[in-house]
Amino acid sequence: MTVTRFQDLPLADRDREWDGAAAEKRVRAWADAEDGPNDKYRDAHLWYDGDSPDNFTSYKMLVADVVDGHMRAVPRGLMAAAGVLEGARSGVDIPSDEVDRVKAHVARYYEKMGDDPPW
């Protein structure tokens, strides 16, 4: 189990809509990861199962999208991830002993946005 390394991606505009399914498709294409995950694909997520890095289903909490040809962290994607971490939204199961590390990752992006995380 692995929390991804903080990428310090540039931020997309704060008002950019978040569509995780559409972002997933764009990130796969941009990362040239159509046949399987790679490092560029991994960097768009907050967490992945290090025991199965070759499975797309191992990657959780996508927070980035491709904007004008560059990967960017999307504030609304980060807010959605924060909601999951706080239990406001369901759908992601990561080990409880890694939640604090993922929260720290999200908190760094919140700081970059000039906001406080919800916890």
Domain ranges of the chain: 2-113
In this prediction, residue 91 carries a pLDDT of 62
User: Is-contact 71 9, C-beta < 8 A?
Assistant: yes
Which stretches of the chain drop beneath a pLDDT of 70?
88-91
In this prediction, residue 86 carries a pLDDT of 86
Within the chain, residue ranges assigned H as helices are 20-30, 39-42, 75-85, 99-113
In this prediction, residue 90 carries a pLDDT of 58
In this prediction, residue 52 carries a pLDDT of 95
- Alpha-carbon distance of 66 to 80, in angstroms, equals 17
